[in-house]
Amino acid sequence: MSTRSVMYSVIVPMYNEEEVITTTFERLTEVMKQTKESYELIFVNDGSKDDSAAIITELATIHDEVILIDFSRNFGHQIAITAGMDYANGQAIIIIDADLQDPPEVMLMMIEKWKQGYEVVYGKRIKRKGETWFKKTTAKLFYRLLRMMTNVEVPTDTGDFRLIDRKVCDVLKGLKEKNRFVRGLISWVGFKQASVEFIREERFAGVTKYPLKRMVSFALDAITSFSYKPLRIATYVGFAISFFSFIYLLVVVYQRIFTDSTEAGWASIIALNLLFNGIILILLGVIGEYIGRIYDESKNRPLYIVREVVSQENTTPSTGNRNMERRESDE
Ligand code: UDP
Ligand code: MG
């Protein structure tokens, strides 16, 4: 079991953030000091190829509130957050991006709400600075689609910047699914939720680690992990098409028997063929998405692999089974 007993845990997932991470540490420290309560800063290094891990290792030797969880490779943002929760010891846990797009000062407002009794406090961005038109539009579309396709109420315009109570964290740790859409899971578990509004800043330095390809796979995870609707739509579309095909079949049979205009039908046969082949492939794709996820779950591999944990104290995850190995630094 963990030896730490702290009030707040701040989880910072980072992937190639060497340009910002020192500043992030300073800003977080400045803000957390104002609480006048104990805290820990958990940096999860998600397989960065730069010096992010080295910078945090250095900080961990000087500051005993700093913990580095170093993944063996890149496992993805959502899994990095999950690992942070596994290691967090605080009574309240705050998740914040490494790039200072989520202003650390907002954490104080979240803590205030938590003290009023809310168990989940999420940050709602009322404005996004320095993000492309494309990013904003796709984000908006994504939240629309998510609402349409699932029954989980993920509040619009929220990211993973949020505070959760110890109780919520413990429940989330019990959810073992592999395709993790953390903010969906947090909505799904319920509890008393509140929001604080903030203006999303520009990235302090570096570039986004969510290119289009990753955004699409993120959206697919989000929707398929909370809804069977795509499968159901596939079924409906299949039925509708069969119905119309049957009617057309009757027409064709009628023409063959009672008229002599049949060989004029070449074009329509080709057209229908192309159309239906297309639709069948789409429907197979939808089914495949789900089967792929069932496959992921059934392999039962650990969510992530930790190369080492660097901290001045004896830090062990509160849920042990996900971690292949760990080692404490010698300081
Ligand atoms: N991140 C991560 N693993 C990844 C991609 C991103 O831990 O594979 C971290 C990243 O370092 C940052 C946060 O997740 O702290 C959000 O990523 P980013 O700022 O690139 O996304 P955006 O703000 O552009 O949506
Ligand atoms: Mg960012």
Q: What confidence tens digit (pLDDT) does each residue in 196-220 have?
A: 888 877 777 777 777 777 778 888 8
Half-sphere exposure of 173 (CA within 13 A, CB side): 21
Of ligand 1's atoms, which has the minimum distance to the CA of residue 208? Answer: 20
Asked if residue 50 has pLDDT above 70, the reply is yes
Q: How confident is the model at residue 324 (pLDDT cuts 50, 70, 90)?
A: very low
Tell which wins on pLDDT, 4 or 104. Answer: 104
Of ligand 1's atoms, which has the minimum distance to the CA of residue 80? Answer: 7
Average pLDDT score over residue span 303-309: 88
Asked if residue 325 has pLDDT above 70, the reply is no
Measuring from atom 16 of ligand 1, which residue has the nearest CA?
97
Q: What confidence tens digit (pLDDT) does each residue in 214-243 have?
A: 778 888 887 777 777 777 777 778 778 878
Asked if residue 319 has pLDDT above 60, the reply is no
Of 87-101, 115-129, 145-159, 244-258, give the lowest mean pLDDT range. Answer: 145-159
Residues forming a β-bridge with 12: 43
pLDDT at 329: 42
Strand order in the sheet with 66-71: 193-200, 120-128, 158-165, 92-95, 8-14, 39-45, 66-71, 306-310
Residue with tokens 């168990």: 119
pLDDT at 330: 39
What are the structure tokens assigned to 83, written together? 């690992």
Ligand nearest to the CA of 74: 1
Of ligand 1's atoms, which has the minimum distance to the CA of residue 76? Answer: 8
Residues in the chain: 331
Average pLDDT score over residue span 279-307: 81
Average pLDDT score over residue span 62-76: 93
C-alpha to C-alpha distance for 165 and 94, rounded to whole angstroms: 9
Of ligand 1's atoms, which has the minimum distance to the CA of residue 81? Answer: 7
Average pLDDT, whole number, for the chain?
82
What are the structure tokens assigned to 31, written together? 């803000």
Half-sphere exposure of 132 (CA within 13 A, CB side): 8
CA of 98 to the centre of ligand 2 (A): 7
Measuring from atom 14 of ligand 1, which residue has the nearest CA?
77
CA of 15 to the centre of ligand 1 (A): 6
For residue 153, CA distances in Å to 150, 172, 199, 297, 321 come to: 8, 17, 22, 24, 31
Count CB neighbours of 176 within 10 A: 12
CA of 204 to the centre of ligand 2 (A): 9
Residues with CB under 6 A from ligand 1: 13-15, 17, 46, 74, 76-77, 80, 97-99, 101, 208-210
pLDDT at 124: 85
What are the structure tokens assigned to 136, written together? 């904003």
Q: Of the candidates 38, 7, 43, 47, which has an alpha carbon nearest to the alpha carbon of residue 25?
A: 43
Indicate the pTM of the whole model. 0.71
Q: Of the candidates 89, 3, 85, 21, which has an alpha carbon nearest to the alpha carbon of residue 59?
A: 21
Asked if residue 13 has pLDDT above 90, the reply is yes
Ligand nearest to the CA of 13: 1
